[in-house]
Amino acid sequence: MIGRLWAIAFNTFREAVRDRVLYNLILFALLIVGASVLFGQISLDINRIVLINLGLTAISMFGIVIAIFIGIGLVSKEIEKRTLYTVLAARPVRRWEFIAGKFLGLVMTLTVNALLMSVGFFAAVLYVSHGLGRGDLSLVTAIYFILLEFVLITALALLFSTFSTPIFSSIFAFAIFAVGTFAEDMRGFAQMAQGVTRWVMTGAAYLVPNFASLNVIGQVAHNTRIEPKLILLNTLYVFVYTTAVLTASVWIFERRNLK
Amino acid sequence: MTRDLRVQTCYALLLGALLTASTMLVRQVDRVRSDEPIQEVLYIPSPKVVKRLSLGYSGLLADIYWTRVVQYFGNKHKAKAKEYLILEPLLDMTTTLDPQLLPAYEFGSVFLAQKPPEGAGDPAAAARLVEKGIRENPQAWRLYYDLGYIYWLELKDPAKASNAFERGSKVAGAHPWMRVMAAALAAHAGETETAIYMWTNILNSTEDQDLRANALNRLRCLRVDSEVKTLQERVDLFTKQSGRLPSGWQELIGAGLLRGTPADPKGNHYRLVAGRVQVENPDLFPFITTGLPPGRALGDLPGEANFKVTKTKL
Amino acid sequence: MKQSGGLTSDIILARTMNAIEIQGLEKSYRTGFFKNKLKQGLLPLSLEVEEGEVFGYLGPNGAGKTTTLKLLLGLVFPSGGTAKILGRELGDIAVKRQIGFLPEQPYFYDHLTPLELLDYYARLSGVESRERRRKVERALARVGMSNSGKTQLRKFSKGMLQRVGIAQAIVHDPKLVLLDEPMSGLDPIGRREVRDLVQELNEEGKTIFFSTHILSDAETLCDRVAVLNKGELKGVGVVADLVREVSGEVEVVWNGAQAIAQLSALGARCHSTGDVVRAILPERSLDAALEILRKNQARLTSVTPVRATLEDYFLARIGETKPKEVNA
C-alpha cells in the first residue's frame, strides 16, 4: 500500500514539475528582486515591512493558484483524459489510495515550490535588513502557516474535482478560499445576528475552512510574536479538517461511475 | 445492501466526528487570537488605499470593518481598557468605505467620546466623525442629535449643542424633541432632567444593543445621583435637627424621615458613612457624580444639578 | 490454441475454470432533464469466457461493449447481476494483478517517457523491483517500441500510443488481457503486429478478451465470439460454427446464356459477362440447377460453395430483434 501511495504521489509530483509549474518561481524571483531594489530608496523600516508583506503574500498567492489549478486537474483531468482507467481498472489500486496518493503528490509539489520561494525570500530579507534578527523567526512561522493553507486548499480542490467539471471546480475552490479568508469576520457577524440567521451563519462560519487564522503576514511584518499555542492549534486544525475533506472526497469517489 | 448501508453510515459518522473536532479547534484558535495583545495597528492605515483595493466591494468591506469595530471595542471594554487607540481609525475606515453606514457614526458618537473604560475619551474625534457623517448624510437628523449630545455633555459647549439640535430639527422627518432640546439648552434649563430626557429618547429610538445598554446605564446613574442628593438632604436635616450625625438609616426611619432602608437601582442598600451617603458598589455606576466614596473621580455632568425627581422607565 | 475432444475427466476439470463468468449483468442509466427516464446501457447479460481462449466481443458502436468492460473492471457499478473474474467476485482487488487492460483511445501522462510510464504501472501492479526493469524493457520490445523508450509521450502518434497502451497491459504478465478496440489507430502493418502479438500471448497461456468492430480480425484470431447490439447479447459461439450457419449458397459458373431464365426461377442471382454466367443460388437448389444446365448443354466451369464471413453472421444477428444462441 505504501509502495502504491508513494508511486502515485511521486508520479503526480513528476507530472507537475514537468508541466513547467515550477516556472512560476522565476516570476516570483523577478518580483522579489525588483521590489527590493525598487524600495531600496525608501527608509529601511518601511522597506522591510513592504518586502515582507509583498514576499509572503506572493508566496501565498502563487501557491494557492497553483494548488487550485493543479488540484482540479488531479481527478477531473484524469477522468477526462482517461488516464485514470489504466490506473484503477487493471491495477490493485484502491480508489482511496488514488485520492490519497494524488493529494500527497500535490502537497509535495507545493512544499518544494514554497521552500524554493522561501530561499529567495530570505535572501531578499537579508539584503534589505543587512542581517537576520530574532524577528525573522516569526517569518518562518508565517511560511509554515502558508504551507498549512496549501494543504487545506489542495484538499478542497481535490474534493471539488471528484464530482465537478474543471471549470466549476476552480470557481468553487476560489470562492471557498475567499470566504475562508473572512471566516473570523463571519463568526463576528454571526454573533451579532439573531434567530435562524444566527444559527445558519454560525454553522457556516465554523464549517468554512479557517484561512483567516492562518494569515499572520500583517503581524510578522510588524514584528509581532506569534503565540506557540496558535501554531499547535492551527496544525491540529488543518490536520483534522483536511482529513474530513479527504474522507468526503473518498466517499464521493468510491461511489462514482466512471463513464 | 446492508453492507453498503453500513459503509455509508461509517463514512457519515467519521465525517461528522471530524467536523465537530475541527469546529472545537476553531473555537480554541479564536480564543488564542483574541487573547493576543490586541493589535493597535491598522495594517493598511490609509482608508483611500483600502477603498481602492476593495475593487468596488467597499460596502462589504465596510461591513467587515464594522464587525471589527464592535469586536475591538467589546473585547477591550471587557478588559476595562484604558485606551482605545485604533477606535477612531477603524471608524474612519468603516465610514470611508461606506459613508452611509449610519450605525457607525452613532456608535462613534457615544463610544469615542465617553471616558475610558467606557469609551476612547476623545470627544473632539467623536465630533469630527459625526460632522463627517452629516456631510455625507445631510438628511440624517439623528446625527445632528448625536452631535448636539457630544457638544453639550462632553465638550461642555451648550451654545454649539443648541445650534446642532437647531440644524437637526429643520431636517424633514426630524423628531419633535429635537426642537425641545434646542430650546432647553438655549435656556440652560435643568440639566439633569434634560439629560434624563435625552437618554430616554436614545433608549427608545435605537435598536443597537450597545447604545441601549449604555443609555440604560446612564439613566440608572442619573437616578442614583438624584436619589443620593435626596438622601443627603434628609441626612443633613437629621443632623441639623438632632445636632449629631446619624449612625445608620434606622435613626432616620425612626425620625420619620424615611420609610425604609433605601436601595439603589441595582438593589444594594445605600451606605451611610460618617454622615455621607454613598453607593455600595461604585463600579456598577460609572457615570455618577455623587455618592462616591472619597478618592473616586467625579463623573461628567456639567453644572449644578438642579434636579427634579422624574419618573423614568427603566 | 485450444484443443478439443478426447480429454480425460481430470483435464476437463482443470479446463472448466472460466476466466470470466458473467451472470445477468446489467446497467441502466437515468437520463432526461429530471433524471426520470431509464436507459438500458446493458440488458441482463450472461456470458462465459474460458481460460486460455481468445474471445472476441463484437458489436457496432454504442452496443455496450465498453460498458461491459467497465463493469467487469469496477469502473462502473452494475444495476444488477454478478460477474467473476478468474474465480473472484467483482470488487476483488487482488485479482487485478492478474489482469491487463487497454482502454479505447488511450491517453497517458504527457510528460512521461514510455519507460517511466511502464515502470509506474508495473510498480502499481506489484511487480518486484528487481524484475521491473527487465519486464518493462521486454514489454516495450514486444510492441516494437524499444527505440522510443526515452521520448516523452506527448510526442507520440496515435499508433505509437496504442502500442504503449498494449505494453502497459502486459508488462506485469497478467493471466487475462482485456483489450478495447486494440486495432484502432493502427496501419495494416501495425494491425498485423498486434494480431501476431495476440496469438503469441495466447500461446503463452493467456486469455485474451477483446472488443472490436473490425470483423476480419476477429475471424482470424478468435476461438469464440459474442455479438452485442443495443445492449443486448445477440449471439455467442465458435466462429466456424456461426459462419457455417449463415452460409449455404453455392456459386455456379458456366458458358452459355441460355439457362438464365430457368435458373432465376429457382432463386438464383445471375450475372453474365459475355458468354460467361455466374450465378449464386441456395445449396438446396444445386441439384435442380445442374439438371437444368445439363439439359441446356451448358458448359459447366465451376461449382464452388460460397464462404460466408463473420460479417454475414454479424449483420444477420444485428438485424434480428430476438437473441439467438448457437451451441456456445
What whole-number distance in Å separates Cα of residue C257 and Cα of residue C292?
Answer: 12
- pLDDT confidence tier of residue B184, bands split at 50, 70 and 90: low
ipTM reported for the complex, 2 dp: 0.83
Cell of C95: 485479482
| Cβ contact, residue pair B18, A213, below 8 Å | no
C-alpha cell of C211? 472488443
Q: Let me know if A180 is exposed, middle or buried by CB neighbors in 10 A (0-12, 13-18, 19+).
A: buried
d(CA A199, CA A19): 45
Greatest Cα-to-Cα distance within chain A, rounded to the nearest angstrom: 64
Confidence band, pLDDT 50/70/90 cuts, at residue C328:
very low
Domain count, chain C: 2
In a domain? residue C261 = yes
Judge whether C311 lies within some domain.
no
In a domain, C315, yes or no: no
Q: Please name the amino acid found at residue C302.
A: S
Are chains B and C in touch, 3+ Cβ pairs below 8 Å? no
Per-residue pLDDT of chain A (259 residues; tens, 9 = 90+): 888 899 989 988 888 888 776 677 777 777 776 776 666 555 556 667 777 877 888 888 888 888 888 887 777 777 777 788 888 888 899 999 999 998 999 899 888 888 888 888 888 788 777 766 666 778 889 999 999 999 999 999 999 988 888 888 889 999 999 999 888 888 888 887 888 888 898 999 999 999 988 988 878 877 777 888 899 999 999 999 999 999 999 999 988 888 7
Q: CB–CB of A14 and C112 under 8 A?
A: yes
CB contact under 8 A, B33 and A218: no
Entry field: residues in chain B: 314
Of B22, B32, B43, the CB nearest to A229: B32
Range with lowest mean pLDDT among A160-164, C5-9, C58-62: C5-9
Counting Cα atoms < 13 Å in the Cβ hemisphere of B134 gives 20
- Could you tell me if A153 and A67 are in contact, meaning their C-beta atoms sit under 8 angstroms apart? yes
Mean of per-residue pLDDT scores for chain C: 82
- Neighbouring chains of B at 3+ CB pairs under 8 Å are A
Look up residue C75 and give its amino acid: L
Q: Do B29 and A233 touch (CB under 8 A)?
A: yes
Q: How many helices (H) and strands (E) does chain B have?
A: 12, 2
One domain, residues C18 and C164:
yes
Strands of the sheet containing C37-50, edge to edge, are C37-50, C18-31, C80-85, C88-89
Contact between C224 and C237 under an 8 Å Cβ cutoff? The reply is yes
Chains contacting C (3+ CB pairs below 8 angstroms) = A
* Biggest distance spanned by C-alpha atoms of chain C: 80
> Which residue in A87, A91, A93, A109 has the most chain C C-beta atoms within 10 A of its own C-beta, making it the best mutation to test that interface?
A91
Instruction: Inspect the interface and report whether the beta carbons of A4 and C123 lie closer than 8 Å.
Output: yes
Return the pLDDT at A233. 93
Q: Interface of chain B against chain A, CB under 8 Å?
A: 11, 14-15, 18-19, 21-23, 25-30, 32-33, 35-36, 39, 41, 43, 63-64, 67-68, 70-71
Predicted local distance difference test score (pLDDT) of residue C8: 47
pLDDT band (50, 70, 90) for residue C175? very high
Nearest alpha carbon to residue C149 among C124, C173, C167, C131: C167
- Asked whether the beta carbons of residue A15 and residue C75 sit closer than 8 angstroms, the reply is no
Q: Cβ of C93 and A18 within 8 Å?
A: no
Task: Say if residue C29 is in the same domain as residue C125.
Answer: yes
- What's the gap in Å between the CA of A166 and the closest CA on chain C? 18
Return the exposure string of A113-143: e unless at least 16 CB atoms fall within 10 Å of the residue's CB, then b: bbeebbebbbebbeebbeeeeebbebbebbb
Around B26, how many Cα atoms within 13 Å sit in the side-chain half-sphere? 24
Scanning the structure block, which residue is given the C-alpha cell 448636539?
A: B148
> What pLDDT sits at residue C99?
92
Give the pLDDT score at B195.
Answer: 76
- Averaged pLDDT, B262-280: 85
Exposure class string for B234-273: b at 16+ Cβ within 10 A, else e: bbeebeeeeeeebeebebbeeeebbeeebebbeeeebbbe
Residues 6+ apart with CB under 8 A from C191: C183, C217
Return the closest-CA partner of residue A148 out of A230, A88, A253.
A230
Q: Which residue of C20, C29, C92, C109 is the best one to mutate when testing the A interface, meaning the one whose CB has the most A CBs within 10 A?
A: C109
Model pLDDT, residue B69: 85
The domain spans of chain A are 2-255
Task: For residues C198 and C295, state if they share a domain.
Answer: no
Which residue stretches of A130-194 are H helix? 135-163, 166-181, 183-192
CA distance C94 to C207: 18
Count of A-C CB contacts under 8 Å = 91
Q: Could you say which of C107, C165, C174 has the minimum Cβ distance to residue A81?
A: C107
- Quick one: pLDDT at residue A243? 95
| C-alpha torsion B294→B299→B300→B306, nearest 10 | -70
**DSSP 8-state code for residue C307:** P
Question: Quick one: DSSP state of residue B283?
Answer: G
The reply to whether C28 and C146 lie within a common domain is: yes
For chains A and B, count residue pairs whose Cβ atoms are closer than 8 Å.
70
Model confidence at B11, pLDDT cuts 50, 70, 90, reads very high
Q: Is C184 helix (H, G, I), strand (E, B) or coil?
A: coil
Q: Which residues of B touch A189 (CB under 8 A)?
A: 63, 67
Torsion sign (Cα): B193, B199, B200, B202: positive
Q: In which residue are the cell numbers 435656556 written?
A: B187
Q: Give the integer Cα–Cα distance in Å for A90 and A82.
A: 13
Distance separating alpha carbons of residues B27 and A170, to the nearest angstrom:
29
Best residue in A240, A254, A255 for a mutation probing chain B (most B CBs within 10 Å): A240
- Kindly identify which residue of chain A lies nearest to residue C85, measuring between CA atoms: A90
Whether the CB-CB separation of C104 and A79 falls below 8 Å is answered with no
Order of strands, edge to edge, in the sheet holding C299-306? Answer: C269-273, C276-282, C249-255, C299-306
- CB contacts of A255 in chain C (<8 Å) are 77
Q: How far apart are CA B144 and CA B130, in angstroms?
A: 8
- The pLDDT, as a whole number, for residue A239 is 95
CB pair distance less than 8 Å for A3 and C123: yes
CA–CA separation, A101 and A87 (whole Å): 12
Residues C48 and C160 in one domain: yes
Which residue matches cell numbers 459447366? C300
Residue where a domain stops, chosen among C224, C244, C264: C244
The reply to whether C186 and C233 lie within a common domain is: yes
Asked if C153 and C114 touch (Cβ cutoff 8 Å), the reply is yes
pTM (whole model) above 0.90: no
Measured in angstroms, the CA of B141 and the nearest CA of chain A are apart by 26
Q: How far is A96 from chain C (nearest CA, A)?
A: 12
How far, rounded to the nearest angstrom, does the alpha carbon of residue C87 sit from its chain's CA centroid?
22
Asked if residue C178 and residue C70 are part of one domain, the reply reads yes
* C181-191 CB burial, b ≥16 within 10 A, e <16: bbbbbbeeebb
C188 and C170 in a single domain? The answer is: yes
Q: Region C68-87: what's the mean pLDDT? A: 89
pLDDT at C91: 83
The CA distance from B173 to the nearest CA of chain A, in Å, is 29
Residue C82 shares a structural domain with residue C53: yes
Chain A residues whose C-beta is within 8 A of a chain B C-beta are: 182-185, 187-189, 192, 206-207, 210, 213, 218-219, 221-222, 224, 227, 229-230, 233-234, 236-237, 240-241, 243-244, 247-248, 251
pLDDT digits (tens, 9 = 90+) for B13-43: 999 999 999 999 999 998 888 766 555 556 6
Q: Which of B26, B32, B68 is facing A210, going by the closest CB pair?
A: B26
CATH number at residue C102: 3.40.50.300
Does C304 score more than 90 pLDDT? Answer: no
CATH code, domain with C256: 3.30.70.120
The beta-carbon neighbor of C75 closest among A89, A92, A255 is: A89
- State yes or no: pLDDT of B308 exceeds 50: no
State which residues form the domain around C188. 9-244
Looking at the structure, do residues C219 and C110 belong to the same domain, yes or no? yes
**Residue A75 in contact with residue A102, Cβ under 8 Å?**
yes
Strand partners, C212: C58
- Among C29, C42, C75, most A C-beta atoms within 10 A, so best to mutate, is C75
Burial of residue B106 (CB within 10 Å: 0-12, 13-18, 19+) is buried
Would residue C3 count as lying in a domain?
Answer: no
Domains, chain B, ranges and CATH? 47-214 (1.25.40.10)
> Helix H segments across chain A?
2-18, 24-38, 44-81, 83-88, 95-129, 135-163, 166-181, 183-192, 195-207, 217-221, 228-255
In this structure, are residues C179 and C210 in contact, taking their beta carbons and an 8 Å threshold?
yes
- What pLDDT digit, counting tens, does each position of C213-241 carry? 788 888 888 889 998 888 888 888 887 77
Minimum-distance CB partner of C125 among A85, A88, A91: A91
**Residue corresponding to grid cell 514576499:** A55
Contacts of A188 in chain B (CB under 8 A): 67-68, 70-71
The domain boundary residue, chosen from C222, C244, C266: C244
Distance, CA of C146 to CA of C115 (rounded, Å)? 9
Q: CB atoms < 10 A from the CB of B31, how many?
A: 11
Q: Which residues of C touch A94 (CB under 8 A)?
A: 93
Helix, strand, or coil here: B287?
Answer: coil
Q: Is C11 on the interface with A (CB under 8 A)?
A: no
Peptide bond preceding C282: is omega within 30 degrees of 0, i.e. cis?
no
Backbone angles phi, psi at B263, to 5 degrees: -125, 150
The chain A residue lying nearest C119, using CA atoms, is A7
CB distance A90–C107 less than 8 Å? Answer: no
Chain A residues touching residue B26 (CB < 8 angstroms): 183, 206, 210, 213, 237
pLDDT in tens, A20-58: 766 777 777 777 767 766 665 555 566 677 778 778 888
Test A92 with C124 for CB contact under 8 angstroms.
yes
